[in-house]
Amino acid sequence: MTTTLPTDETRMSELPAHDVADLSLAEGGIRRIEWAEREMPVLRLIRERFELEKPLEGLRVGACLHVTSETANLMRTLKAGGAQVALCASNPLSTQDEVAAALVAEYGISTFARRGVDRDGYYVHLNAVADTHPQLTMDDGCDLVSLLHRDRTAELAGVMAGTEETTTGVIRLRAMAADGALRYPVVAVNEAKTKHLFDNRYGTGQSTVDGILRATNILLAGRRVVVAGYGWVGKGIASRMRGMGARVAIVEVDPIPALEAVMDGLQVMSSMEAAAWGEVFVTATGNVNIFAEQHFALMRDGAILANSGHFDDELELGALHRQCGGRIRQLRRDLQEYDLGDRRIYVLGEGRLVNLAAAEGHPAAVMDMSFANQALAAEYVARSHDGLSAQVYVVPAEIDREVARLKLESMGIAIDQMTPEQVKYASSWQEGT
């Protein structure tokens, strides 16, 4: 594909508002976006329909998502549906700078994202999206919703609805709704089965292993890996680690997933026991300080710490920083060594979600389903927001099933339908022995 990149000032002035690292990276970004698109047939079908039907015509969408090639394909879909889109990053380390450049230069989408931006820069970008007066917010971790409710309350009256991508964001939104603080309806995309059963489990499972390997290049076979949290993400990581030959132990606080882990054939132990046992530690709880000062004191020389939960507070890095007196060396791009004197501990991707910081996040084939849900949820709220109140909504079951149906179809897989006799049997309470 040929493309005209912004080589002259005239073209620059035609570009949408943006703050990206380097527009000259756009060519590489286009190639990445096209490669991802090949793996996203469901989103492509939706985009083709959106192009014809324009269900989002004139709608201002403010999105705060990981700026990756898969997200770029979602942004293209929303734009095809007629939306005016502004995008910022939902994590300072997950931005693919070439993709951000391509979004601006090739696809005409307002993008505010640079990999490695500091906290202030991160909020400048969020505010830039808020400045576009979004009518629909699309969040991954609830940072945009929080900003609007905390600092940019004047914008709230103009927002009709939102969508939220991840578990942690949904937890924050439910807490806001319970406090009566949430001011507009939000659809929890994470709650769709075609999202969390696949994205959280298979997507994060594989890409977390990928991130750890890219950051360290260690051999996993025979390695003792501790996974904290046996929810959808933890299950995915544990099963993929086991598939690589690692010996896996689970740390949990809920007896039900802990029991599930035992019956899945995994070791389950307390976090203190695990600290002394493990060689690689991965957190996936959505909670805070899972491995903290008391755990670091027990960890062996060479222990590797990574996080795949949404926020970077699952590892208490402040304590590790104090313990090592600031003796930190950057050994590889996403690998830092903390020198504790008697031992060295290694941290990947500064404790930010390792699958995005050190690898490329979920494979596109999985994001195809998550983002199909996002696109269809946006269409749903654009149509139905009048009937919704300021609560957290699940994705309508018809959308969920439609995403699964289209995905199977794209894989060339046919399934059965119940016969009329089976429909009657399955809905009757009078049938029995």
Ligand X SMILES: NC(=O)c1ccc[n+]([C@@H]2O[C@H](COP(=O)([O-])OP(=O)(O)OC[C@H]3O[C@@H](n4cnc5c(N)ncnc54)[C@H](O)[C@@H]3O)[C@@H](O)[C@H]2O)c1
Which residues lie near ligand X (CB under 6 A)? 166-168, 196, 200, 204, 228-234, 251-254, 257, 284-287, 290, 308-310, 353, 355-356, 361
Please answer whether residues 359 and 69 qualify as being in contact, where contact means their C-beta atoms are separated by less than 8 angstroms: no
Q: Quick one: 26 or 315, whose CB is closer to ligand X?
A: 315
* H helix count then E strand count, the chain: 19, 16
Could you give the CA distance from residue 109 to residue 33 in angstroms, rounded to a whole number?
14
Q: Which is nearer to ligand X, 320 or 353 (CB)?
A: 353
Q: Which is closer to ligand X, CB of 84 or CB of 204?
A: 204
Q: Name which of 39 and 155 has its Cβ closer to ligand X.
A: 39
- In 278-417, alpha helices (H): 293-296, 317-323, 354-357, 364-384, 397-410
Looking at 18-96, list the stretches that DSSP marks H as alpha helix, in order from N- to C-terminal side.
26-38, 41-53, 69-80
Closest distance between ligand X and the C-beta of residue 270, in Å? 10
Nearer to ligand X, 139 or 279 (CB): 139
**Toward ligand X, which CB reaches closer, 337 or 350?**
350
Compute the least distance from the CB of residue 170 to ligand X, in Å: 8
CB neighbours of 82 closer than 8 A, spacing ≥ 6? 50, 54, 55, 56, 57, 58, 59
Separation between Cα atoms, residue 409 and residue 190, nearest integer Å: 22
Task: Give the residue with the Cβ less far from ligand X, 196 or 407.
Answer: 196
Cβ 356 to ligand X, closest distance in Å?
6
Of all residues in the shown chain, the one whose CB is closest to ligand X is 231
- Cβ closest to ligand X, residue 29 vs residue 231: 231
- Using the structure block, give the residue that is written with the tokens 């689970």: 250
Q: What is the DSSP string of 379-406?
A: HHHHHHGGG--SSEEEPPHHHHHHHHHH
Three-state secondary-structure class, residue 354: helix
Q: How far is the CB of 201 from ligand X (least distance, A)?
A: 8
> In the bound complex, what is the minimum distance in angstroms from residue 146's beta carbon to ligand X?
14
CB of 50 to ligand X, least distance (A): 25
Q: Is the dihedral of CA 351, 352, 354, 360 positive or negative?
A: negative
Q: Report d(CA 433, CA 144) in Å as an integer.
A: 56
Nearest distance from C-beta of residue 229 to ligand X, angstroms:
3
- Contact assessment for residue 207 and residue 363, using Cβ atoms and an 8 Å cutoff: yes
> Which of the 8 DSSP states describes residue 353?
B
Q: How far is the CB of 91 from ligand X (least distance, A)?
A: 9
